[in-house]
Amino acid sequence: MFIAGCGGGGSGGGGGDPTITNAETPTITKQPESRIYNPGNTARPLVVETSVSGGGGLSYQWYSNTENETNGTQIDDETANTFTPSTATEGTFFYYVIVTNTNNSVNGNKTESVTSNAAKIIVSNTSEGYYNVSFYDDQLDFIET
């Protein structure tokens, strides 16, 4: 019979578990903002701002959905911290981003992710008119759509 040594017994030291360090979960400091547009109008980019203090590199992947849920469809080639939604089709759309921190210098989990809030984008051609009031680049943005 073969028994593998497990160590840890006796007073000779060793046998203790090494400290496990995982990648830090990114912090979202600015969430993407909801907006309303007329069809064909130029949309403003959705922006997410993030930080991580424990090292590693941040990556982004945007997703879309027609419900306010985080089980959307990955948007191909949208891997920056900004994404400009289309206004070609009328409807209500939700967009969110998953931010991943990859830190290959840790000895535990090398990646940790966080999901942004979903931004609600309404594309609608109505005679009622909507006003979208928000701050953009530290200036009041008042857009009649």
The position carrying tokens 């903002």 is 33
- Domain 27-144 homologous superfamily, CATH: Immunoglobulins (2.60.40.10)
Q: What percent of the chain has pLDDT over 90?
A: 70
The position carrying tokens 């400009």 is 84
At residue 103 the predicted structure's pLDDT band, cuts being 50, 70 and 90, is: very high
- Residue 98 pLDDT > 50: yes
Q: What distance in Å separates the CA atoms of residue 75 and residue 60, rounded to the nearest whole number? A: 11
Residue 35 host element (H or E): strand 35-37
At residue 10 the predicted structure's pLDDT band, cuts being 50, 70 and 90, is: very low
- Residue 112 pLDDT > 50: yes
